[in-house]
Amino acid sequence: MARPNNARYLESHEWGRLEGDGTVTIGITDFAVDQLNDLTFVDLPEVGDKVTKGEAFGEIESVKAVSDLIAPVSGEIVEVHSDVDGDDFSALKTDAFGKGWLIKVKPDNADELNEGTKDLATYEKQLEEEAH
């Protein structure tokens, strides 16, 4: 799966992408999905909730672990991907950067997305280091 060059990546394997309408789409990377392996549950917030950059906005569970989902930007949730819940995680597994998005946020400050996050090349370098 090709990772998008127009997204910003967190060390904890979440991604955020500024959209043309000014919202930020947030999800987890294909690497995170592969590492978690057998997904069992995703706990997402609701529309209207606030998220804070660097803090958990939900959880994702697998048979191996429970992991916090970390926000790459602060703002108000304007959309939650309701299809990525229950027991159907196919969108996450097949299209983590497209149909597998988790939430959309109206950012308090869109520039915040570039602070403390990684571009694609730096993120892929991190993955190479984690593989060793």
> According to the model, what pLDDT value does residue 100 have?
92
> According to the model, what pLDDT value does residue 131 have?
78
Mean pLDDT, the chain cut into blocks of 10 residues (132 residues total): 91 97 97 90 95 96 92 97 76 91 97 96 94 74
> According to the model, what pLDDT value does residue 85 have?
63
> According to the model, what pLDDT value does residue 59 have?
95
> What gap in Å lies between CA 38 and CA 107, rounded to an integer?
32
Instruction: Single out the residue of 101, 34, 29 nearest to residue 64, CA to CA.
Output: 34
| Beta strands at 50-51 and 75-80: parallel, antiparallel or unpaired | antiparallel
Taking every pair of Cα atoms in the chain, the longest distance, rounded to a whole number of angstroms, is: 41
Close Cβ partners of 8 (under 8 Å, ≥ 6 residues apart): 15, 16, 17, 72, 113, 114, 117, 118, 119
Close Cβ partners of 42 (under 8 Å, ≥ 6 residues apart): 58, 59, 60, 61, 84, 85, 89, 102
Residue 21's SS3 state is: coil
Asked whether 89 and 53 are in contact (CB, 8 A), the reply is: no
CATH architecture classification, 8-109: Beta Barrel (2.40)
> According to the model, what pLDDT value does residue 87 have?
63
Distances (CA, A) of 131 to 16, 20, 80, 125, 126: 23, 34, 32, 10, 9
